[in-house]
Copies of this chain bind each other. A is one copy, B any other.
């Protein structure tokens, strides 16, 4: 293969496709996507924007715990990836709206399937922070 390796087809139901050349992991769109969605806040932001458009500070409050730095970084990356659209309204005070692009919405479909698997099969399987019992005290 090497240069002609354009496969990585649609991969059938149960096994990921090609034995991936490795070293090209960077260029593999699959791993690339995972690494992005796999960061600390992206999935969270994506899930919020999946419900409706948000303004910057609105997101900042909703994703309570995120720093301005990371919120901005996350949004900028999503924008660069074409998943989120940023619209500035030159009002006073200024307001900026973030919303999913059609591409972003389309991503939520397979993402939902994965999320569904996660809540069903995952580790201690306590959905959203409801630990089994005193983990801390």
A73 located at the interface, meaning its Cβ lies under 8 Å from any Cβ of chain B in the complex: no
B28 touching A129 by the CB < 8 A rule?
Answer: yes
A106 touching B118 by the CB < 8 A rule?
Answer: no
A65 touching B33 by the CB < 8 A rule?
Answer: no
Which residues 81-108 in A have Cβ within 8 Å of B in the complex?
A: 81-82, 103, 105-108
B51 touching A19 by the CB < 8 A rule?
Answer: yes
The contact of A110 among B47, B50, B113, by CB within 8 Å, is B113
Residue of B whose beta carbon sits closest to that of A47: B16
A112 located at the interface, meaning its Cβ lies under 8 Å from any Cβ of chain B in the complex: yes
Interface size bracket, A side: 35 or more
B117 touching A110 by the CB < 8 A rule?
Answer: yes
B6 touching A127 by the CB < 8 A rule?
Answer: yes
Given contacts A47-B16, A123-B81, contact A118 B30 (CB under 8 A): yes
- Scoring A residues 50 to 81 as 1 if CB is less than 8 Å from chain B, else 0, what string do you get? 11000000000011111000000000000001
Beyond contacts A17-B115, A33-B118: 6 other A-B pairs, Cβ-Cβ < 8 A, are A3-B130, A11-B115, A15-B47, A22-B64, A27-B130, A107-B121
